[in-house]
């Protein structure tokens, strides 16, 4: 019961802190001003990450007053603090890409320093053992990529907040089912903190989470995925499926941009969710459609989490087909819209 009470308190605290930061007379105010690549049309505060991060810190402190904490949890906290501080400075003063990357690498290094790189990569029905050097390289790349893809996908009202609520809510339930109360409670606090923020971020958004929120949450997705693997709660493909609405969109978009020879570090508006908004779907309709996709991924994980490997592979193949169909439909919608505009 303590965990539920702490999560409810985190939800309320996050809502109150977010509401305060969204006010015109907020004590700390940084505005995200729209440009030609933006989906919003008016200057909006981008300090919501302070409310999310502060609430998570307080919630975790209360949580582990009553529950045991694994030794490596301190490293996750320190890593999250490091990437959040660097990202907050970027929100306020616009740091160079190299400084931002240095912060991301520092967070990844802190997690790797406590041995959270798994010795083998699990997949349905088996695992692939890899050399320690390969493990550290690939896991470090995973952490940095999750940090950045979450930041890339935080470009629409209610999007990253909704993914965090659904994604970490799912991780929490997986922890409860496995009997890992510490993991379940920590995940639930993250979901609650994002939920309180989402009330003010749902379309039309009154505040954005900024890099201090999206970068920190991306780091936590990677860290909690590794935590779950370390405690045997799930294999790595499980959280990747849970967060696949973000992972697939960001990864495919990156590959397509690289194939076209674009500068990958430059701002753009070619993510699938951005294209839907620009085609007239708007923030609210696109966000609700994405929520359905997120919930469907979460439900599919519970269906096959303890099923035979054959059914797990079948589910992964099913989602590969679903994402291919979605991408094809968006391409066709764009082509039809373009043809109609030139008719």
| DSSP code string of 255-273 | HHHHHTT--TTS----SHH
Tell me the three state secondary structure of residue 299: helix
pLDDT recorded at residue 84: 96
pLDDT recorded at residue 343: 60
Whole-Å CA distances, 140 to 104, 106, 153, 232, 330:
10, 10, 20, 20, 33
Whole-Å CA distances, 245 to 85, 160, 167, 250:
27, 10, 10, 9
First to last CA, the chain: 62
pLDDT recorded at residue 30: 73
Which H or E run contains 136? helix 132-153
HEC profile of 178-240:
HCCHHHHHHHHHHHHHHHHHHHHHCCCCCCCCHHHHHHHHHHHHHHHHHHHHHCCCCCCHHHH
What span, in angstroms and rounded, lies between the C-alpha atoms of 138 and 62? 34
What span, in angstroms and rounded, lies between the C-alpha atoms of 145 and 148? 5
Structure tokens at 79: 């890593």
pLDDT recorded at residue 39: 61
**Spacing of C-alpha 201 from chain mean position:** 15
pLDDT tens per residue, range 290-336: 999 999 999 999 999 889 999 999 999 999 999 999 999 999 988 88
Bridge partners, 121 (sequence order): 128
pLDDT tens per residue, range 179-227: 999 999 999 999 999 999 999 999 999 999 999 999 999 999 999 999 9
Query: Residue 40 above 60 pLDDT?
Result: no
pLDDT recorded at residue 41: 58
Burial class (CB in 10 A: 0-12, 13-18, 19+), 48: buried
Q: How confident is the model at residue 162 (pLDDT cuts 50, 70, 90)?
A: very high
pLDDT recorded at residue 31: 72
Please state, as a whole number, how many other Cβ atoms lie within 10 Å of the Cβ of residue 1.
Answer: 6
Per the CB < 8 A criterion, the answer to whether 164 and 191 are in contact is yes
Per the CB < 8 A criterion, the answer to whether 212 and 28 are in contact is no
Backbone φ and ψ of 31, nearest 5°: -100, 140
How big, in percent rounded to 5, are the helix, strand and coil portions of the chain? 75, 5, 25
């Amino acid at each position: 019961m303590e965990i539920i009470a702490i999560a409810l308190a985190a939800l309320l605290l996050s809502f109150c802190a977010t509401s305060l930061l969204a006010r015109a007379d907020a004590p700390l105010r940084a505005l995200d001003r729209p440009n030609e690549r933006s989906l919003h049309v008016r200057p909006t505060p981008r300090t919501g990450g302070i409310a999310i991060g502060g609430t998570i810190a307080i919630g975790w402190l209360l949580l582990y007053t009553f529950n045991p904490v694994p030794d490596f949890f301190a490293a996750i906290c320190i890593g999250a603090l490091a990437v959040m501080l660097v990202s907050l400075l970027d929100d306020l003063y616009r740091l160079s890409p190299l400084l931002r990357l240095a912060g991301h690498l520092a967070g990844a290094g802190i997690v790797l320093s406590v041995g959270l790189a798994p010795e083998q990569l699990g997949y349905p029905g088996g695992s692939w053992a890899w050399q320690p050097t390969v493990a550290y390289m690939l896991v470090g790349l995973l952490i940095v990529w999750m940090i950045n893809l979450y930041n890339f996908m935080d470009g629409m009202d209610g999007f990253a907040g909704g993914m965090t609520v659904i994604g970490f809510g799912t991780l929490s339930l997986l922890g409860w089912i496995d009997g890992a109360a510490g993991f379940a409670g920590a995940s639930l606090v993250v979901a609650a903190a994002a939920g309180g923020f989402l009330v003010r971020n749902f379309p039309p958004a009154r505040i954005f989470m900024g890099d201090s929120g999206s970068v920190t949450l991306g780091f936590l997705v990677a860290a909690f995925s590794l935590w779950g693997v370390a405690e045997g709660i799930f294999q790595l493909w499980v959280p990747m499926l849970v967060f696949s609405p973000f992972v697939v969109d960001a990864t495919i978009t990156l590959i397509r941009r690289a194939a076209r020879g674009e500068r990958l570090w430059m701002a753009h508006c070619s993510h699938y969710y951005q294209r839907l908004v620009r085609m007239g779907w708007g923030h609210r309709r696109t966000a609700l459609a994405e929520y359905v996709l997120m919930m469907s991924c979460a439900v599919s994980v519970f269906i096959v989490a303890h099923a035979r490997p054959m059914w797990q592979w079948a589910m992964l193949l099913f989602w590969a087909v679903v994402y291919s169909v979605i991408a094809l439909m968006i391409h066709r919608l764009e082509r039809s819209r373009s043809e109609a505009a030139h008719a």
